[in-house]
C-alpha cells in the first residue's frame, strides 16, 4: 500500500524536509532537572516537550519530575513505543495561544504515528501544546531515550515514504536496539555536551532505554 503523504503537508510532518537535526538541541542551554528528580522518593523523572510557541524561550524539551500516582500513568502507550517496548505515556499541560500554530508539537505527533498507516490520530496531529512524557512502567525517562524513540519514529516515516507499506520488520525491540547502538555511536561523535545524563547533548555514557 502506498501512503499519500500530501495529507500531512499542513501538519509539518514530512520527516525528510521538516524534522530538525538532533544537533539543534545544542543551540539552547542544556535542559536541567527540577530540584526534585526521579531519585526522590515518591517522584519519577519525566520530560516536558515544549510546543512550537514555547521553543523561543525553552529548549525543545527539559527534564522534570512527577508524582508516582498522577493520571498520566493510566494513559495509553502509542503503537511504536509499545511495539519496541519503551512504554511512553503522554499528558497535555494545557498550553494556550491566540495563534494555534504555536501549539503544534511535531515531536509528539511523530511519537503517535500508527504502525499500519503511518499517520498519527487526528487529536495528536496539530494544536497539541506542550506535553509531559513519562514511562508507563514508572522508570526514569532520560532525554536521550526520548530523542531516540522520536528519531526512530522519524526513520519509520521515511520508510513509509518509500511506498513499500508498513515496515513491520522495525516493530520489535531487537530492531530498535540495533538501530539505537548506531544512533548512539553517531551522536557521541557529533554532540559534545558535558552536563551529565540529563543533558540532552551529553552522550558519553548513555545506556540503552532498557537499562534504567
- Which DSSP string corresponds to 168-188? GGGSSHHHHHHHHHHHHHHHH
Q: Is there a contact between 68 and 42 (Cβ–Cβ < 8 Å)?
A: yes
* Domain ranges across the chain: 5-190
This prediction has a pTM of 0.82
The pLDDT profile of the chain, 212 residues, written as one tens digit per residue, is 333 333 344 344 443 434 554 544 433 333 333 333 444 668 999 999 999 999 888 889 999 999 988 899 999 999 999 999 999 999 999 888 878 889 999 999 999 999 999 999 999 999 999 999 999 999 999 999 999 999 999 999 999 999 999 999 999 999 999 999 999 999 999 998 999 999 999 999 899 999 97
pLDDT score at 130: 96
pLDDT score at 40: 62
Task: Give residues with Cβ within 8 angstroms of 3, minimum separation 6.
Answer: 117, 118, 119, 160, 161, 163
Residue 4 phi, psi (nearest 5): -90, 95
pLDDT score at 19: 53
Q: Is 165 left (phi over 0), alpha (psi -120 to 50) or beta?
A: left
- Sign for the CA dihedral angle at 183, 185, 191, 195 comes to positive
Q: How far apart are CA 135 and CA 142, in angstroms?
A: 10
pLDDT score at 21: 47
Amino acid at each position: 500500500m502506498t501512503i499519500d503523504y500530501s495529507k500531512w503537508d499542513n501538519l509539518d510532518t514530512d520527516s525528510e524536509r521538516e524534522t530538525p537535526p538532533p544537533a539543534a538541541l545544542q543551540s539552547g542551554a542544556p535542559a536541567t532537572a527540577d530540584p526534585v528528580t526521579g531519585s526522590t522518593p515518591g517522584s519519577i523523572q519525566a520530560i516536558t516537550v515544549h510546543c512550537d510557541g514555547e521553543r523561543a524561550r525553552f529548549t525543545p524539551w527539559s527534564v522534570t519530575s512527577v508524582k508516582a500516582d498522577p493520571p498520566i500513568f493510566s494513559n495509553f502507550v502509542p503503537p511504536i513505543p509499545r511495539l519496541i517496548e519503551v512504554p511512553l505515556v503522554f499528558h497535555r499541560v494545557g498550553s494556550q495561544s491566540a495563534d494555534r500554530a504555536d501549539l503544534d508539537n511535531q515531536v509528539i505527533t511523530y511519537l503517535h504515528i500508527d504502525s499500519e498507516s503511518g499517520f498519527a490520530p487526528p487529536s495528536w496531529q496539530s494544536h497539541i501544546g506542550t506535553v509531559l512524557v513519562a514511562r508507563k512502567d514508572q522508570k526514569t525517562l532520560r532525554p536521550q531515550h526520548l530523542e531516540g524513540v522520536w528519531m526512530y519514529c522519524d526513520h519509520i516515516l521515511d520508510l513509509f515514504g518509500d511506498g513499500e507499506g508498513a515496515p513491520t520488520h522495525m516493530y520489535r525491540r531487537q530492531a530498535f536496539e540495533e538501530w539505537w547502538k548506531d544512533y548512539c555511536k553517531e551522536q557521541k561523535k557529533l554532540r559534545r555536551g558535558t552536563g551529565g545524563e540529563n543533558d540532552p547533548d551529553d552522550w558519553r555514557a548513555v545506556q540503552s532505554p532498557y537499562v534504567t
